A = this chain, B = another copy of it.
């Protein structure tokens, strides 16, 4: 041993708060959680929690305060349009205990956007320029009205195309972590037949996250074993050791594709 081991760098973490009665009633099927999850994984940020709450100020405030104290970032979607049921910006201001009013920067962005499209900037539309004091704007080329970032909370629209534009524009301001590398081993057997071996392997590599996901393809049961680790060398070792054991037990062919 040549000294103390290097401590693993602290992980950057995140959570998502989806706001909207229409998701809870089933009327609208959420598409944003998966998009944000994929994006965070690419940035090396660990998504640790998701919550969906109704358009109720008390629920939004309680959730955002629980999540912003616990994780590096909170991403919210929904509730920042021009109608009476859009209460997210006001709820976030209350959660932080700051004031909220028409923001001159947001108003200017929207005035520009609407002017080139000959759309009137009505009082209802101006409601979308209400931004909590101290927030940074998050631009949106799709519909003009911005989202915002206040402290560690990024507030975005619920419409998927607008959310994507805001997520892209918020990204340069985010800390990134070491990307989590992963590998998937496909086993042409049901989970029950690899569970014991796989469990022992997970114990031998406590620093490598291992998950087992059953699948049914054309009536045949198969299993995907997924290994995930920020340390590529450890991942490779865990993968090759596992493949050798699976081959030895005849559970995969020696030439089995590993991807």
Q: Is the CB of B25 within 8 A of A228?
A: yes
Q: Which of B51, B124, B202 contacts A49 (CB 8 A)?
A: B51
Task: Tell me the minimal C-beta distance from A182 to chain B in angstroms.
Answer: 8
Known: A84-B202, A85-B212, A196-B123. A26 touches B50 (CB 8 A): no
Known: A81-B191, A198-B83. A50 touches B22 (CB 8 A): no
Q: Is A33 an interface residue (CB 8 A)?
A: yes
CB-CB contacts of A119-147 with B at 8 A, as 1s and 0s? Answer: 10011110100000000000000000000
Q: How many copies does the complex hold?
A: 2
Q: Is the CB of A30 within 8 A of B27?
A: no
Q: Is A98 an interface residue (CB 8 A)?
A: no
With a cutoff of 8 Å between Cβ atoms, the chain B residues found around residue A228 in the complex are 21, 25
Q: In the complex the two chains form, what is the Cα distance from A202 to B30 in whole Å?
A: 25
Q: Is the CB of A199 within 8 A of B83?
A: yes
**How many of A's residues come within 8 Å of B, CB to CB?**
65
With a cutoff of 8 Å between Cβ atoms, the chain B residues found around residue A127 in the complex are 195
Q: Is A247 an interface residue (CB 8 A)?
A: no
Q: Is A100 an interface residue (CB 8 A)?
A: no
Q: Is A4 an interface residue (CB 8 A)?
A: no
Q: Is A232 an interface residue (CB 8 A)?
A: no
Q: List 23 A-B contacts (CB under 8 A).
A: A25-B47, A25-B182, A26-B37, A26-B47, A30-B33, A49-B51, A50-B51, A81-B214, A83-B191, A83-B212, A84-B195, A84-B199, A84-B212, A85-B202, A85-B210, A122-B192, A122-B195, A124-B191, A124-B195, A124-B199, A125-B192, A159-B214, A161-B216
Give chain A's interface residues, CB within 8 Å of chain B: 18, 21-30, 33-34, 37-41, 46-55, 59, 81-86, 119, 122-125, 127, 159, 161, 180, 182, 190-196, 198-199, 202-203, 209-214, 216, 226, 228
